[in-house]
Amino acid sequence: MTIEPVRSDDRQPSVGEKGVQPCLPPLTGNQKMIYSALLGLGRTAKAYELLDLLREQGVKAAPTVYRALNELMEKGLVRHIVSMQTFVALPTSDPAQGRSVMLVCEDCGKARPLENKPLLSALRSNARKSGFEVKSYHLEIATSCSHCGCGNGQVS
Ligand SMILES: [Zn+2]
């Protein structure tokens, strides 16, 4: 699956996806570079891994990477996977700031948001029954993805 990560000035018409990519927020040069690299990896990555990948393109310092990652998180294009100390790019901007449930493969680092409204409303209502109002949540669920096997010990 190929998804054009950013809208560039030299528009690339063949995206391989149906329809037009929903509008992404405007990105600076560094944000664009780091978002594209992370999206291209198709998995989570540490900031230093991104720095190594982008050194040849002129990214020389870790603070540059962290600043761009923070800005991309604010735009809803990148999520921080706290349990793995990594970051993952989302194919489209997800404005659900402060509310995320991520499935993370412990083996290959692939990560994907879990969209399950019944589950999330059950979470809210259970919290309410216990006397708490959910304001934000960041859940990370350790998994084994379908490519890596279903935790049955098989190695593909
Ligand atoms: Zn995996």
**Does residue 4 fall inside a structural domain?**
no
CATH code for the domain in which residue 108 is found: 1.10.10.10
Spacing, Cα 154 to ligand 1 middle (Å): 12
| Per-residue pLDDT at 156 | 43
Spacing, Cα 84 to ligand 1 middle (Å): 14
**pTM, whole model, 2 decimals?**
0.74
Q: Which token pair is 40?
A: 């291209």
**Does residue 9 fall inside a structural domain?**
no
Q: Convert the pLDDT of each residue in 14-24 to its tens digit.
A: 333 333 355 78
**Does residue 136 fall inside a structural domain?**
yes
Spacing, Cα 143 to ligand 1 middle (Å): 8
**Does residue 76 fall inside a structural domain?**
yes
SS3 label, residue 81: strand
**Does residue 65 fall inside a structural domain?**
yes
Spacing, Cα 112 to ligand 1 middle (Å): 11
**Does residue 88 fall inside a structural domain?**
yes
Spacing, Cα 44 to ligand 1 middle (Å): 11
Spacing, Cα 34 to ligand 1 middle (Å): 22
Number of structural domains (the chain) is 1
**Does residue 110 fall inside a structural domain?**
yes
Contact at 8 Å (CB) between 21 and 92? yes
Query: For residue 121, how many other CB atoms are within 10 A of its CB?
Result: 10
Domain that holds residue 35: 29-143
Q: Convert the pLDDT of each residue in 28-76 to its tens digit.
A: 999 999 999 999 999 999 999 999 999 999 999 999 999 999 999 999 8
